[in-house]
Amino acid sequence: MGLVQTLLSIGSLNAAALAVAALLFAVAFYRLHLHPLSHIPGPWFAAVSSVWMHAICYFGVEGHVLLDYHRKYKTAVLRIGPDSVSIADGEALHQVYVAGGGLPKDARYSNFRVEGHDTIFSAVDQNYRDRRAKAVLPLFAPSRIQSAYETDGVMEPLVAKFVAQLQEARAKPDAKIDVLDLCSRLSIDILTAYLFGCVYGGLDEPRRRPQDKLSATPFVLTIVALSRFSLLSNRLFTLLFSVLFHHRMRSDPELAPSLQAVSRFAESVVDGPSSKADTYQSRLRDAGIDREETLVQCKAVMFAGADSTAVVLATILFHLVQNPQVRERARAEASTAADPQSLPYLRAIVREGLRVAMANPARLTRLVPTGGLRLADGTYLPAGTKVGAAAYVLHHDPAVYPDPFVFRPERWLAAGQASTDAQARNAFAFGLGPRACLGRNLANHQLHAVVKAVLASGVLEGARTCTDRIRLIEWFNAEIKGHELEIAW
């Protein structure tokens, strides 16, 4: 009797295993051959399961892996998941991100909430986002930013302090500095001084040891690192975030003080005298946003604006050190009193820096609504498809940017109308459309002003980089490996 029961049990297990295998085979067959996206080229394993996409996102290699597969399959529309595609066509960007206000964000963005609140960036609900974005948008007008730099004395003293600290580092016996950390200090100071009317004080924080970094950096790096899980469902992401965040709190002694420093500053911004001026926080409060959410929105813009601009600025300085011929050509132009953004070669340097730095190198995903979407090349995407373009893929297209891994500002100087149009079409550093980065004008102004001041000072003469190239982690927000980029003299 016992033997019979054992055989029946084994038979039941085998039957269950066969049923599961048959089900998995049926799902795989449907996704490969019958699914509405089955006509789109891509690796078969990506069509069968999203595990591959989660893996390359986790390991921070999404951009260059997708670039390789776009080239392998010779396609501008690549299937990268059962319901996901990557686009590498600059002409299709308008349809996805601009036309009609752009396609809606998918549920992934809920994973970018801060302390349980949606931010201007993470909000999927367009009305929720518009109310907050419209309140602060006037602060990002180019004329207002220009005035703050030239007339109001908000930013220029900080840029001068930044250049002075480079000069001080050059004069020391060891003559070495981490330009990424210095750029992080400057960026957070400029952003907070301009938007909040109150300077964070990154440039004034002591650096007693070479490893002493900006106090906000552990806070920033934690958010950047956890974005590797952003493709997970919100419920699973929230659970994993809680576990990993608490583990990081125990393993990184600098994280808790960093969070406290950022929180204290945000509270001083929201509750202090600057909250009564025409500032980011006052505009949010005037729009009816409560104190707790205003705190969160301020922390979110500190993270989003300061870190991304710092990565781009540090990347530009790195390449200026490595390319003395570029530096020499730009220095004469930078010595003039002209508006930095009116100088053609300086403009080209910044545009090339934005191309190679890619503050957001991975896909900015959107959701195809009811009715589907037909792309410019005729490809049809059914409703529910997650579609997105990655700056890494667009910015390294050799048909648009010959020798795409070479820092070459000259490519942006009147190379012919067709070439110039294609380069502009593929430029995706700030996203596109009404959901594009709110702070792009502030970032652009900072990059031009700082690079001009550094070039004019001559402080990079005789400098060398301490590594041969920048090694980028291609998470949702770009991260330079080791969060360090040293130059020496």
Q: How many CB atoms lie within 10 A of CB 218?
A: 21
**Per-position b or e across 27-42, b if 16+ CB within 10 A of its CB:** ebeebeeebebeebbb
Could you tell me if 98 and 430 are in contact, meaning their C-beta atoms sit under 8 angstroms apart? no
Distance CA 205, CA 207 (A): 7
Give, for 455, the enclosing helix (H) or strand (E): helix 440-457
Output the six-digit token pair for 171.
């004069």
What domains does the chain contain, in order, with CATH numbers?
A: 41-488 (1.10.630.10)
Could you tell me if 401 and 393 are in contact, meaning their C-beta atoms sit under 8 angstroms apart? no
Q: Is 118 exposed, middle or buried (0-12, 13-18, 19+ CB in 10 A)?
A: buried
Distance CA 453, CA 330 (A): 11
Q: How far is CA 74 from CA 56, 79, 138, in A?
A: 20, 12, 43
Start-to-end C-alpha separation, the chain: 85
What φ, ψ does residue 428 adopt, rounded to 5°?
-135, 25
Distance CA 394, CA 428 (A): 7
Angle between helices 344-357 and 291-322 (to 10 degrees): 110
Q: The whole model's pTM is what? A: 0.92
Could you tell me if 309 and 447 are in contact, meaning their C-beta atoms sit under 8 angstroms apart? yes
SS3 288: coil
Q: Where are the alpha helices (DSSP H) in 34-125?
A: 44-48, 51-58, 62-72, 93
Please give the pLDDT value at position 223: 87
Please give the pLDDT value at position 5: 65
For residue 437, say whether it is annotated as part of any ligand binding site: yes
Output the six-digit token pair for 230.
């952003």
Distance CA 398, CA 426 (A): 11
Give the per-residue SS3 of 217-248.
Answer: HHHHHHHHHHHHHCCCCHHHHHHHHHHHHHHH
Q: Which residues of the chain have pLDDT under 70?
A: 1-13, 210, 274-276, 415-419
Nearest to 220 by CA among 308, 151, 141, 279: 308
Output the six-digit token pair for 144.
């207002």
Give, for 387, the enclosing helix (H) or strand (E): strand 386-390
Distance CA 159, CA 453 (A): 8
Q: Is 183 exposed, middle or buried (0-12, 13-18, 19+ CB in 10 A)?
A: buried
Please give the pLDDT value at position 25: 81
Handedness of CA 93, 394, 56, 478 (dihedral sign): negative
Could you tell me if 310 and 186 are in contact, meaning their C-beta atoms sit under 8 angstroms apart? yes
Could you tell me if 158 and 186 are in contact, meaning their C-beta atoms sit under 8 angstroms apart? yes
Could you tell me if 184 and 317 are in contact, meaning their C-beta atoms sit under 8 angstroms apart? no
Output the six-digit token pair for 4.
């019979």
Please give the pLDDT value at position 441: 94
Distance CA 96, CA 367 (A): 9
In this structure, what DSSP letter does residue 279 have?
S
For the chain, the helix, strand and coil percentages under 3-state DSSP, each to the nearest 5: 60, 10, 30
Could you tell me if 374 and 380 are in contact, meaning their C-beta atoms sit under 8 angstroms apart? yes
